[in-house]
Every structure is written in structure tokens, then in C-alpha cells.
């Protein structure tokens, strides 16, 4: 079996091209694939469709790609921390497909599970439902949402082994497990890379069968969007 391990992000991201659909794990700035995003910026790939819970902040996360106008379309559920995102959308430079949080999570999970679509009551009677099939089940309306698959998926894990088995830490275990399933090629960056057999099988969140490439990340910032402390 050929190795899944790559020495760095530059090697792991070979093959990412203009116009691709990319799925990125993380929630806010927690658990985002920082090294992969930085490398995408350096590569200069453009006209990307990015599927992510959010678009980062102005100078970090996907905000870096927005600054360089590399993203053509965002499919996301939360955009409140990024002023540039708002500016680009209002000016027509950025296309946005806004999804309720549970819906985008399920769309990614469905894509990874090979499910082309599903019905949900979330968004019925709102702008979210425009142009979508509506079906009634047991007296309640549901809208059809499509599963999402990406040309590449990028996830960040706390620990991983050389086969690609992954363990996420705390809040980073949010969109990352779904994102890892939904890429034609899934690239995992990890804080700690260990030999196969060193991870407790009962603690693994993403089985290595979903991961095609893995590398040890460097220089993680682990930034916080908003810090609130008690006055006492």
C-alpha cells in the first residue's frame, strides 16, 4: 500500500485547481485546517466554491482567501465575524448560498454517505426554500436539500496515524468528521502524527479509509474569535 503521508502542505495539496469545490472543516476558528488554507493562498488557485460552516475572519481562516479574491462562491451557515465577506457579497463579487447550520452539516454528511438528497422542515416558507421541491409528509411540509461532495476536503485533527485515522479535540469535533467523508480526495493535517496502532481504536473519530493524504501541520495559531471573561 502506498503511503498517505506527505512531508508538508505544499506536497499534500498538489492537484488542487481553479474552479474546484472545496469542503473545509472547523467551527468559527476552531479546528480549521490552517496550514491548508495558507497553502491555498500561496498557490493562488481561484474561482473556488468553498463549503464551510463560516468564512473565517478578515485576516484569518478563509478570510485570507477572500482577501485575495480566490473564492467565487461560499456555501455556509454563519458569516457574522467577517466584514470583508459582507462587503464582497453586497458588491456582487461573491456568490453566497446560505444554509441553516443543521442543514449544511447534514448536506455534507449525506454527500459523504452517498445520499444525493434528503427532506427537512428547516427553511420551509423562507428564502431558503426558494426554487426547491416541497413535499408533504404526515401533514407537514419539507424541502428537498441536496447532498454535497467536494473535489477536495480539508480537515484538521489533534492526532492522526499514518493510515489516516483521526482524533479531534473537543470543539474541533464538529464539522470535521462530516467534511472528512465528503471529499473525493480528503487531506488531513494533524498536530501530532503517530505510527499505525498507537491510537486507541475506541477513540478514533474518522477512520483512515476516508483520508487519502495526511501531513503534520506547523505553527498553529489557535486563535479565538471573541474572548469573554468574567469581571470577578
CB 231 within 8 A of CB 24: no
The confidence score (pLDDT) of residue 83 equals 87
Are 179 and 155 within 8 A, CB to CB? yes
| Cα angle: 164, vertex 74, 128; to 5 degrees | 115
- Report which DSSP code applies to 199: S
Q: Got the DSSP string for 11-28?
A: HHTTT--TT-EEEE--BT
Q: What is the pTM of this model?
A: 0.93
Place of cell 462587503: 87
For residue 24, the model assigns a pLDDT of: 98
pLDDT at 230: 85
Contact 80, 74 (CB under 8 A): no
Domain 9-120+149-216 carries which CATH code? 3.40.1080.10
* Residue numbers of the chain with a pLDDT score lower than 50: none
What's 112's DSSP letter? H
Write down the residue that cell numbers 481561484 correspond to.
46
Q: For 169-191, how does the pLDDT look when each residue is reduced to its tens digit (9 = 90+)?
A: 998 999 999 999 999 999 999 99
Residue 78 has what pLDDT?
86
Report the pLDDT value the prediction gives residue 1, as an integer from 0 to 100.
53
Please return the burial class of 170, using the count of CB atoms within 10 Å of its CB with bins 0-12, 13-18 and 19+: exposed
Amino acid at each position: 500500500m502506498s503511503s498517505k503521508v506527505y512531508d508538508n502542505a505544499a506536497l499534500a495539496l498538489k492537484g488542487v485547481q481553479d474552479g474546484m469545490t472545496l469542503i473545509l472543516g472547523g467551527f468559527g476558528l476552531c479546528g480549521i485546517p490552517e496550514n491548508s488554507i495558507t497553502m491555498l493562498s500561496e498557490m493562488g488557485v481561484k474561482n473556488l466554491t468553498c463549503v464551510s460552516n463560516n468564512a473565517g475572519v478578515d485576516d484569518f481562516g478563509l478570510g485570507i482567501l477572500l482577501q485575495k479574491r480566490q473564492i467565487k462562491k461560499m456555501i455556509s451557515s454563519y458569516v457574522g465575524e467577517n466584514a470583508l465577506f459582507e462587503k464582497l457579497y453586497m458588491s456582487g463579487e461573491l456568490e453566497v448560498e446560505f444554509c441553516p447550520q443543521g442543514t449544511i452539516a447534514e448536506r455534507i454528511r449525506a454527500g459523504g454517505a452517498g445520499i444525493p438528497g434528503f427532506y427537512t422542515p428547516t427553511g420551509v416558507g423562507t428564502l431558503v426554500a426558494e426554487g426547491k421541491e416541497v413535499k408533504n409528509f404526515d401533514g407537514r411540509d419539507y424541502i428537498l436539500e441536496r447532498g454535497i461532495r467536494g473535489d477536495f476536503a480539508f480537515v484538521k485533527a489533534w492526532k492522526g496515524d499514518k493510515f489516516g485515522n483521526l482524533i479531534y479535540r473537543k470543539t474541533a469535533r464538529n464539522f470535521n468528521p462530516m467534511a472528512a467523508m465528503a471529499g473525493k480526495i480528503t487531506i488531513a493535517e494533524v498536530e501530532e502524527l503517530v505510527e499505525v496502532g498507537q491510537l486507541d481504536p475506541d477513540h478514533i473519530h474518522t477512520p483512515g479509509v476516508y483520508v487519502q493524504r495526511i501531513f503534520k501541520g506547523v505553527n498553529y495559531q489557535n486563535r479565538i474569535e471573541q474572548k469573554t471573561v468574567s469581571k470577578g
